Amino acid sequence: MSLVYLSLGSNVGDRIGYLRKTVGCLKEGEDIRLIAVSCVYTSEPLGVIEQPSFLNAVVCIETSLPPEDLLLLTQAIERSFGRNGKGTGGPRTIDIDLLFYDNLVMHTPELTLPHPRIPDRAFVLLPLADIDASFRHPVSGETVTSLLQDRCQGQRVVLYRETLDSGVRSRKPETKELYRTKDV
């Protein structure tokens, strides 16, 4: 079984509902075991900024699926909630990104692992820190905490008032205050 981290994001409709349903779909997967779910955070959109704010979370799973098959599964989940293709940063009901698949480094036309924009996204790193702040990026060797401190200061990411109620481990790290810049 491989250990995988997935990022979840939603900024359309029942955002918390889409995140919860996505976690439910992952829990029901035959070849997937849900290990941990982060707290939920609110973040401002990047790129196309004229859209609603996002709710973000990270989940940790174990799977026997190869990376390409896991990508197909996550895309099927996205489509089941009305997402059609990967857009250009516009609004979406659900966005599921493969962040890390063990310590695998791969580049194909369909999939790059680790996800290339992890180091600059506090809305990914902060929930990832909830699960494993000492996890080391397989390319740079930096920990999640180090990436947050060195590259993500000033990004607006705030703890959300609701959780995903997934039935698996979710914790709040003691260092959370270092990365929050404003309250929503």
- The residues annotated with a catalytic role in the active site are 83, 92, 95, 97
Strand partners, 140: none
Rounded distance between C-alpha atoms, residue 155 and residue 3, angstroms: 28
Give, to the nearest 10 degrees, the angle between helix 15-28 and helix 67-80: 140
Rounded distance between C-alpha atoms, residue 87 and residue 109, angstroms: 16
Length of the chain: 184
SS3 per residue for 52-109: CCEEEEEEEEEECCCHHHHHHHHHHHHHHCCCCCCCCCCCCCCEEEEEEECCCCEECC
